[in-house]
Amino acid sequence: MTHQPVVRALLVLGLLGAAGSPLLAQYKVVDPDGRVTYTDRPTPSSTAKVQPIRTTPGSETVSSLPYELRQVAERYPVTLYSGDNCDACTAGRNMLRQRGVPFTEKTVKTDADIQALKRLESSSELPVLRIGTQQLKGYTDAEWRSYLDAAGYPAQSRLPASYKSADPAPLVGQTTATPPARPAAPPQPPAQLPPALETAPQGIRF
């Protein structure tokens, strides 16, 4: 007995409520009180701050995909949250690559990454896989494959030979501290010429 129809139904239901999802939204709107919402059509406002966001992870490489695979990747982008010394993360990553699923990988290593993962996914367990609006915690090969099937990803890789996935990136962007500017050196007094000798050798003038 297969669970694919059930998985497909859950996936479709999840997509119906995707309008407010940051994964499928086009803009991030920050109200003056700090409240953040996501939308595909921002309402003009003189007080809210509107920021365009990238809705398709790895969109710089999606354009190189075959048409059918590109359509799936744009509708149901895949994001993998992984960590170091995580056998399940390695197994999940290998499965995605073997199957030819274009995905974005976010690494969770620092305390800031862990806190961000809890806010985004309400989880501290790794790996976490996002397929569109669907969340899968932990790695189960059959479950991941069922959800990828339901989203329409091919069972066999159709990635072109020229395709190169983006490198894993920290979940929380790294910031480089700017060294403090050195104070300007005080102006130096003009060099003083040595006083003229009272009696200079004959033929030499100062």
The CATH number of residue 67's host domain is 3.40.30.10
Question: How many domains are there within the chain?
Answer: 1
Residue type, 42: P
The per-residue pLDDT for 68 is 93
Residue 65 lies in a domain: yes
Domain of residue 86: give its range. 4-10+55-170
Q: Strands of 27-30's sheet, edge to edge?
A: 36-39, 27-30, 49-52
- The verdict on residue 191 lying in a domain is no
Residue 147 domain-assigned (yes or no): yes
Residue 206 forms part of a structural domain: no
Residue 105 lies in a domain: yes
Please indicate, yes or no, if residue 36 is contained in any of the structural domains.
no
Could you report the per-residue pLDDT of 146-196, keeping only the tens digit for each? 999 999 999 999 999 888 888 999 999 765 445 556 666 666 665 555 554
Q: Is residue 129 part of a domain?
A: yes
Sequence-distant (6+) residues with CB within 8 A of 127 are 80, 81, 82, 83, 86, 88, 89, 92, 93, 138, 139
Residue 122 lies in a domain: yes
Tens digit of pLDDT for each residue in 40-90? Answer: 455 555 566 655 444 444 444 677 899 999 999 999 999 999 999 999 999
Residue 144, pLDDT above cutoff 60: yes
